[in-house]
Amino acid sequence: MPQEVSFVTSAFQSEQFPPADRPEIAFAGRSNVGKSSLINKLVGRKNLAKISARPGRTRSINFFSVENFLYLADLPGYGYAAVSQKMRQSWKRLVEAYLTTRPNLKAVVLIIDIRRGPEGADIELLNWLRAYEIRTVIVLTKADKVSRGRAKQRVDLILQQFAEGGVDRPLIFSAKTGQGKSELWSRIQEAIEG
């Protein structure tokens, strides 16, 4: 578990990204999939990434420093219907600029609610990441809300949905219990070294 973790900046445009001076892992997912909870559990902090009661509130890319060695980038959630089309387009441009210009980006952690499985926007993002040859780690959150047997069924089903892409087996994660935390750190380490 990292000892030194801190907030760096919120970037609303690419000029505000921090220097690309260390490896970086980005976290992406639909609004309300537990992205902030995952980041907080991963680094062992309760309120590092802000958890909003209203989905679709994050409008910037939030950067966090881990041990002055690694950046974690929390991308805005997507797919929330109550957000205006103009706002969605603004987020899309920011995220695409980030994903296509960050030379230190080692992987994107694509977060999906295990109870819902991938939806159109998730599959679209995964296909986009593949097209740009960006390593992707799929994490299924909220595992504590389903039985172990049901979780395995969901993983197998999701693998079938992503069959064309040859993705690695998704990780099962629970921000409540910590399940999957060490496995996710292992995948992050592989991406950094890879």
Q: What confidence tens digit (pLDDT) does each residue in 126-170 have?
A: 888 888 899 999 999 998 898 888 888 888 888 777 766 567 888
pLDDT of residue 165: 59
User: How much is the pLDDT for 76?
Assistant: 87
- Going edge to edge, which strands form the sheet with 136-141? 5-11, 61-66, 70-74, 24-29, 105-113, 136-141, 171-172
For the cut 70, the answer to whether the pLDDT of residue 80 exceeds it is no
51 in helix, strand or coil? Answer: coil
pLDDT in tens, 21-73: 999 999 999 888 888 899 999 999 887 777 655 555 557 899 999 998 999 99
CB 80 within 8 A of CB 127: no
Count Cβ atoms within 10 A of the Cβ of residue 194 and give its class: 0-12 exposed, 13-18 middle, 19 or more buried. exposed
**Domains of the chain by start residue, with CATH:** 5-193 (3.40.50.300)
Number of neighbouring beta carbons within 10 Å of residue 67: 12
Hey, which residues does 138 pair with through a beta bridge? 110
Which SS3 state, helix, strand or coil, does residue 9 take?
strand
> How large is the average pLDDT for residues 184-191?
96
Residue 21's pLDDT is what? 96
> What does the pLDDT read at residue 188?
96
Q: What is the pLDDT of residue 64?
A: 95
- Predicted confidence at residue 28, as pLDDT, reads 93
Q: How many residues does the chain have?
A: 194
- Segment 67-85 shows an average pLDDT of 78
pLDDT in tens, 89-136: 667 788 889 999 999 999 999 999 998 888 888 888 888 888 889 999
pLDDT band at 15 (very low <50, low <70, confident <90, very high): very high
For the CA atoms of 133, 143, 154, 28, what is the dihedral angle to 10 degrees? -20
Q: What angle do CA 108, 113, 114 make, to 5 degrees?
A: 110
